[in-house]
C-alpha cells in the first residue's frame, strides 16, 4: 500500500527536474527533452489521482497529454531543424535574432 502522497512527491520531483533542465540547459534539444520530462511528471500525477478516486477520466487525460506531446515533438523538432539550417548552431544563446 503506497500513499497517494508518495506518487505526488515523485511526480513533483520529476517536474522540478524538468523545470531545472529547461532553465540551465543551453542545447535546444536538451531543453526539449526537459519539457518531455515535465509532461511525464504531470502524467504520473494524473494516473495516481485516477487510481485514488477510481475515475477513469484521469487515464483518458493522459492519452490527450501524450497526443499533444507527440504533436509538440513533431513540430518542435521541425523548428529545430529549420533553426539549425539557418543559424548552423543548436545553442540557444546564439539564436538571438529577436534580441535588442
Task: Tell me if 59 contacts another protein by CB under 8 A.
Answer: yes
Task: Tell me if 97 contacts another protein by CB under 8 A.
Answer: no
Locate 73 and state its grid cell: 515533438
Question: How many whole angstroms separate alpha carbon 3 and alpha carbon 5?
Answer: 5
Report how many residues bind another protein under the rule CB under 8 A. Answer: 66
Q: Could you say which of 43, 97, 98, 99 contacts another protein (CB under 8 A)?
A: 43
Say how many Å lie between the first and final Cα of the chain, rounded: 56
Pair 47, 58: CB distance under 8 Å: yes
Question: How many whole angstroms separate alpha carbon 35 and alpha carbon 69?
Answer: 9
Task: Tell me if 29 contacts another protein by CB under 8 A.
Answer: yes
- Paired residues of 27 in beta bridges: 91
Q: Least distance in Å: CB of 17 to another protein? A: 4
List contacts with another protein (CB under 8 A): 1-10, 12-14, 16-18, 20-21, 24-27, 29-30, 32-34, 36-37, 40, 43-44, 47-48, 50-52, 54, 56-57, 59-60, 62-64, 66-75, 77-82, 84-85, 90-91, 93
Amino acid at each position: 500500500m503506497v500513499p497517494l502522497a508518495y506518487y505526488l512527491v515523485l511526480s513533483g520531483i520529476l517536474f522540478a527536474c524538468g523545470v531545472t533542465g529547461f532553465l540551465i540547459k543551453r542545447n535546444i534539444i536538451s531543453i526539449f527533452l526537459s519539457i518531455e520530462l515535465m509532461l511525464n511528471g504531470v502524467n504520473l500525477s494524473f494516473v495516481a489521482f485516477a487510481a485514488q478516486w477510481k475515475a477513469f477520466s484521469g487515464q483518458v487525460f493522459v492519452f490527450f497529454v501524450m497526443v499533444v506531446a507527440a504533436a509538440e515533438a513533431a513540430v518542435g523538432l521541425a523548428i529545430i531543424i529549420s533553426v539549425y539550417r539557418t543559424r548552423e548552431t543548436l545553442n540557444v544563446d546564439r539564436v538571438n535574432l529577436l534580441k535588442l
